């Protein structure tokens, strides 16, 4: 690939930030967590590919689903973006069921805590 072609398919971190709406600081964090792997130019600047725009969208979706970054780093190579939804490799579904069970347990714990707080608040009004 020529230098001109390489420049055409890469962008710096500020451009990726503008295109995704994600802060530069957060993009650096994603890199630290192994979620993004930009190439480095001779000047040390990060060079992101157009495909990283989609990767950032996938990361944001998986974070919104409650997955921790270490799980996302493990899942990303298996994720396909099909427009309105993400599709995972079949073999990852069982592992995600485990993540869902973990989230369900957290919800149950939070609901129990809320009930206890409601009892304390009610007792204060009696």
Q: How many angstroms separate the CA atoms of 55 and 82, rounded?
A: 12
pTM above 0.85, yes or no: no
Which of 1-10, 34-43, 72-81, 92-101 bottoms out in mean pLDDT, i.e. has the lowest? 1-10
Given a contact cutoff of 8 angstroms between Cβ atoms, the answer to whether 24 and 14 are in contact is yes
Question: Model confidence over 7-20: pLDDT tens digits?
Answer: 446 899 999 999 99
Question: What kind and span of H or E run contains 113?
Answer: helix 93-125
Q: How many angstroms separate the CA atoms of 67 and 99, rounded?
A: 7
Query: In the prediction, which pLDDT does 6 show?
Result: 47
Of the two residues 59 and 90, the one the predictor is more confident about is 59
96 in helix, strand or coil? helix
Given a contact cutoff of 8 angstroms between Cβ atoms, the answer to whether 36 and 55 are in contact is yes
* C-alpha distance from residue 89 to each of 70, 71, 86, 95, 102 (Å): 17, 14, 10, 11, 20
Domain ranges (residues) in the chain: 1-88, 90-126
Question: What kind and span of H or E run contains 65?
Answer: none
Residues 6 or more apart whose Cβ sits within 8 Å of residue 14: 24
Q: How many angstroms separate the CA atoms of 80 and 86, rounded?
A: 6
CATH topology classification for 1-88: Multidrug-efflux Transporter Regulator; Chain: A; Domain 2 (1.10.1660)
Q: How many angstroms separate the CA atoms of 95 and 70, rounded?
A: 13
Query: In the prediction, which pLDDT does 99 show?
Result: 84
């Amino acid at each position: 690939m020529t230098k001109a072609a390489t420049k055409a398919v890469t962008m710096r971190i500020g451009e990726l930030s503008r295109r995704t709406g994600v802060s530069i600081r957060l993009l650096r964090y994603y890199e630290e967590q192994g979620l993004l792997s930009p190439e480095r130019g001779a000047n040390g600047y990060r060079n992101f590919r157009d495909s990283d725009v989609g990767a950032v969208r996938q990361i944001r979706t998986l974070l919104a689903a409650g997955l921790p970054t270490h799980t996302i780093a493990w899942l990303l190579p298996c994720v396909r973006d099909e427009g309105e939804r993400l599709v995972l490799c079949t073999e990852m579904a069982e592992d995600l069921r485990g993540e869902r069970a973990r989230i369900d347990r957290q919800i149950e714990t939070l609901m129990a805590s809320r009930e206890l707080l409601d009892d304390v608040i009610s007792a204060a009004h009696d």
